[in-house]
Structure 1
Amino acid sequence: MDSCTDKEEKPAKFVWVNGPIIVGAGPSGLAASACLSEHGVPSVILERSNCIASLWQQKTYDRLKLHLPKQFCVLPLLGFPEHFPKYPTKDQFISYLESYAAHFSIQPRFNQSVQSAEFDSSCGFWKVRTQDLEYISRWFIVATGENAEPVIPEIAGIGRFHGPIVHTSAYKSGSDFAGQRVLVVGCGNSGMEVSLDLSRHGAVPHMVVRNTVHVLPREMFGFSTFGIVMELLKWFPLRLVDKLLLLVANLTIGNTGQLGIHRPKTGPIELKNFTGKTPVLDVGALSQIKSGKIKVMEGVKEITRNGAKFMNGQEKQFDSIVLATGYKSNVPTWLKGSDFFTKDGMPKTPFPNGWKGQNGLYTVGFTRRGLLGTASDAIKLAKDIADQWRTDQDCRTYSNIVLVKNCTKK
């Protein structure tokens, strides 16, 4: 909705939103807005950056592709173009999101960084404050997701290192590191893929594997591993599916423990469901490890001026360090007065019921189940809000005006 302006066109202090306030214009926020519009419910998206899907547009590396087939990454109500490949590229996915926003006439309010959001029980509204405005609504949707802020680890001596240190959020291409010895801290999907990218551009990556991790082939017998898992789970218990998965993985990619990458005792799907730790889907890094082009290292004990000391006593020199240490939620830094989220910024109620809190609070994109979880949340919250919207539609206008006046007098 349009905000009121005075004669000098200065922004109004308060903006009443005739529908839910959504924070975040990534896939989760777009999906929530689209599903709401399908029910005839308007919404306003507040986005701190200057574009939709800023994580994808501004903080991803050039070679990135979707790790899952496109049918598992589609948002509600609008599919991918038919000509897109099985695993769309970063640019193709961004173009899909832009087309999605245009199709549903979604126009986020950009450069609106939420400073705080809090439910005012005295008037029954959510107050969402940005750097220059306060938005007020009956409903509030948190769509900032699990990957809002880069995780920067505390490593002894890291401040002494003489060379560049970049998080994968700032990494673009291995061409920037050609000929260098690069320490890659982290062995998840990003760590593996960045190491692969570095090796293909003539760098010598040394990938730190501190903890156990499941590595699976992206495809088995010509079919998506994830797709096979989804089908098997319809017929067999989770732990049996995990055993079958690991059996085939060992036959196709071998024993990763011999490469220094040890598997957890818990199976990959069970581990994902209970901890959110995603298995690595191999897109070529394992072959580079086997050939010696990617070196696997134990945990880092200390960063030195010219390199690093490792837990096994080794010491090596490096030109650069890449932190493939992932992202985290930032909800606890700005959501006030709510105990719905943990200190780590995730809903306390586990999937599939973590999409709804109290007093008109909703979440989307916190399921640890990727875009399939996002779609599920968006569909559920839109129906729930739409049912409330239709119930009090006739008496909303007058009562809301009175309540907002009382709310903003404080």
Structure 2
Amino acid sequence: MDSSCKEENGNPVNSSWVHGPIIVGAGPSGLAVAACLKQNGVPSLILERSQCIASLWQERTYDRLKLHLPKQFCELPFLSFPENFPKYPTKHQFISYMESYARHFSVEPIFKKAVETAEFDHVMQFWRVRTHDSEYCSRWLIVATGENADSVIPAIQGIEKFRGPVIHTSVYKSGSEFKNQRVLVVGCGNSGMEVSLDLCRNNAIPYMVVRNSVHILPREMFGISTFSITMELLKWLPLRLVDKFLLLVANFTLGNTERLGLRRPKTGPIELKNATGKTPVLDVGALSQIKSGKIKVMEGVREITETGAKFMDGQEKEFDSIILATGYKSNVPIWLKGTGFFTKDGMPKTPFPNGWKGGNGLYTVGFTRRGLLGTSSDAINIAGDIAEQWRIL
């Protein structure tokens, strides 16, 4: 890195020229692309806003989280999980894998460097990436902040009146803090289901709000992961046929979820995920607690009161705490300026598998809505593309 670039309005800026690409984000996506670049002989610089790698995993996940997919689908390029890890590694095992991955490829991000703006300088033909105290310039910019950069906090009428704690799942650690409490869990995705299950196991009483339809599939079918079966079938059969098969097995093993207040969408689970990014819920035990009445399913919330909530069906209940299992969103529109490559929701406009490359040396990794498998394919593509340009320089 050379100090150079230029002054800003007459004030010198602490400015550096980066010889390889600048990568924004040190989650699995940023680490994977840095490792793939290194394998191709290309250096890079990662800027990370938090103080650790994989901050979503380290700082914003609950204690009992495990990978939802078997480990072979969650590996990053060129380094497998340790042999002795279980089929579905725990949160702490996944973090240790990430840390050993960074060490293995000598990836050393610069921490506490939140990118405020990144913009292509059309006159100089390079990217200017600014943090609060520095500017970095490079021919290439890789956006690796991912689909889950910031918490989604929905506007719910009256929520500011509620006297008890209101938290997002990003700060939820364990149900032990909610013992014997009546807890309203807003959201029924994988987080909402698992938090409700965790609350049950810690003698809390969860009420889970199901506003929309949701696909629930068993995590395993016939002793094999549902995801593995799906990937295999998709090689041979049309997508809609695979969806039909999954729903047939789900109805057979889980029963009719509609009777429990969990309506299935009209569109099949894989087709829906490809179209909207909405992941089916892989059941790890919440459904049996719903069937036994320990997790209570509620319709949408009409409004929150000082002591509880009024629901769309006219019911009113009191709660001690509210947990928002309302997911995450991309933060790209906040800092990436003037490209037109991303939608207003911060996702690439070009669909998978071609969303990894924009114009003027812009790349994106980890926005495929296909988890770590998508991240790996993006990282390999980007590294190959930049390495070709690098060799010509």
Q: Which residue of 2 aligns with 1:396?
A: none
Q: Which residue of 2 aligns with 1:203?
A: 204
1:141-191 deviations in Å (ceiling 9; x for gaps) = 000000000000000000000000000000000000000000000000000
Q: Which residue of 1 aligns with 2:190?
A: 189
Whether contact under 8 Å (2:3, 2:14) holds in the other structure is: no
| Post-superposition offset of 1:136 | 0.1
| Post-superposition offset of 1:224 | 0.2
Residue identity opposite 1:45 in structure 2: I
Counterpart of 1:207 in 2: which secondary structure? strand
Aligned equivalents of 1:338 and 1:234: distance in 2? 36
Whether contact under 8 Å (2:128, 2:136) holds in the other structure is: yes
Residue identity opposite 1:223 in structure 2: I
Aligned equivalents of 1:238 and 1:12: distance in 2? 53
Aligned pairs (5 A) from 1:330-341: 330-341=331-342
Aligned equivalents of 2:289 and 2:16: distance in 1? 55
Q: Which residue of 2 aligns with 1:294?
A: 295
Q: Which residue of 2 aligns with 1:38?
A: 39
Which 4+ runs in 1 deviate beyond 3 A?
Answer: 1-4
Whether contact under 8 Å (2:2, 2:17) holds in the other structure is: no
| Post-superposition offset of 1:283 | 0.1
2:377 is the counterpart of 1:376 = yes
Counterpart of 2:173 in 1: which secondary structure? coil
Aligned equivalents of 1:40 and 1:116: distance in 2? 28
Whether contact under 8 Å (1:355, 1:364) holds in the other structure is: yes
Counterpart of 2:114 in 1: which secondary structure? coil
Q: Which residue of 2 aligns with 1:153?
A: 154
After TM superposition, the score normalised by the length of structure 1 is 0.93
| Post-superposition offset of 1:12 | 6.7
Q: Which residue of 1 aligns with 2:135?
A: 134
Aligned equivalents of 2:104 and 2:368: distance in 1? 26
Q: Which residue of 1 aligns with 2:9?
A: none
Q: Which residue of 2 aligns with 1:395?
A: none
| Post-superposition offset of 1:2 | 7.5
Aligned-pair RMSD on alpha carbons?
Answer: 1.0
Aligned equivalents of 2:151 and 2:341: distance in 1? 23
Aligned pairs (5 A) from 1:86-235: 86-235=87-236
- Unaligned 5+ residue runs, structure 1? 5-10, 393-410
Aligned equivalents of 1:270 and 1:113: distance in 2? 36
Counterpart of 1:383 in 2: which secondary structure? helix
Aligned equivalents of 1:281 and 1:137: distance in 2? 42
Whether contact under 8 Å (1:208, 1:298) holds in the other structure is: yes
Q: Which residue of 1 aligns with 2:329?
A: 328
* % same residue: 77
Counterpart of 1:212 in 2: which secondary structure? coil
Whether contact under 8 Å (2:2, 2:18) holds in the other structure is: no
Q: Which residue of 1 aligns with 2:60?
A: 59
Residue identity opposite 1:321 in structure 2: I
1:327-361 deviations in Å (ceiling 9; x for gaps) = 00000000001100000000000000000000000
Aligned equivalents of 1:3 and 1:227: distance in 2? 49
2:332 is the counterpart of 1:311 = no
Aligned pairs (5 A) from 1:75-94: 75-94=76-95
Q: Which residue of 2 aligns with 1:70?
A: 71
Aligned pairs (5 A) from 1:383-402: 383-392=384-393
Whether contact under 8 Å (1:3, 1:12) holds in the other structure is: no
1:121-143 deviations in Å (ceiling 9; x for gaps) = 10100000001100000000000
Q: Which residue of 1 aligns with 2:253?
A: 252
2:45 is the counterpart of 1:49 = no
- Unaligned 5+ residue runs, structure 2? 5-11
After TM superposition, the score normalised by the length of structure 2 is 0.97
Number of residue equivalences = 386
| Post-superposition offset of 1:373 | 0.2
| Post-superposition offset of 1:295 | 0.2
Residue identity opposite 2:136 in structure 1: Y
